[in-house]
Structure 1
């Protein structure tokens, strides 16, 4: 599994398009990304915070968050001991009867389900999720058929729960979302390859095949940030790596990170980290 631009790829480690990961890290960062797979987040010990399409979801213990395929999301946890399951599955490749397209409009909506707000739906979803986890861990004869059945039970429950709130006109354009994300991914790859150079909004827009206006709007919508803010954050992350791991002067770090002046580097670093590069370096040793 790796992130190319912001597209998470190679999710599955086996032929069956299904993955369960138990995460127990107290401090866990996974950057902004998207994937074709749908995802369930299920914390079984302590709560959890997730950001999807720029909106933060505050989950209590045993809450269930369904993240629609193609929705951008990130995880950032600090000083939070707990256990949380991430469950990912590719609906299109699991659909042996070719009927999943009927549910597509309803599965384009990220939804948080809690026992407090929707006890009946939560109880049914949790029962199926617990069954998924148990079956995946033990892998008895025919376990993939069992997983398939439980996943479609979950999808039907979720679809019926949002039926009255679906805007069919807008959801019919959902297939375009992946095409736009694939194009935007070219921009993120360009930034990753060129952030050390003097690149502009015009350069990145061109790399992705958008006008500057259209790209700016989409970029802000996806990341919650303006292009220059995102670029500076990427450069500061690189600068931090160089400050910690290499015996380089502040000037060398600034230039290697894409800043063409020490003043701009110091000002940007202090704005994002709350201290100067020199102060930060001293704190690490």
Structure 2
């Protein structure tokens, strides 16, 4: 039984639960890879003609064309499911390595999916509170795909492990210059990729490695600094300040500002204009 689901552009996130002494039917997922990670209980999985007992955080990947089913033998089980479009995985791999390859994951290995669970959990909580901007969604999807390609072995591993760790500092400088020049306009990974000639996946990975934060976090930080400067004057309303600083909505502005300054924009404006 699906108890929570979120459909994104290139993947579907879900929480799946089976009651004690129950099982689902043998099934596949079309052109999607499905990543399955137990978060409660210890499920038993049948993968094609193989069987395995799984522990908490064990990662299983069902590739397109494969069949599987889950059993709850002794207690209720709950699984985190991340279904990723086959073309998206291939694109992420190709952009990083420069090689086109049909990826075939090992169904199971020794990968620990706790990091993926935490990131998806944060995303669920984030989307419940307010709308998510496109750049954040793109950043999230690329980050999850890269995590899976890194921790789960398969036909891609030797090439991926060798190529995905390179760092190119001059590229990041170019990206930062573009962000600072265009922070007041809509910015997405696609826009930055087109402007700098860097693939979205490569750009996302390099940025995190160099600055230790996502592109969307960095953009919001720059925008809140601009907003903070504008609030020192009395000629702008908070709505005008939000859009002048590049935020697409008042709620996004308020959330970002409170994250960096520890108070709401209205509270800050009262202090600096008193």
TM range (shorter): 0.3 to 0.5
**TM-score, normalised by the number of residues in structure 1:** 0.42
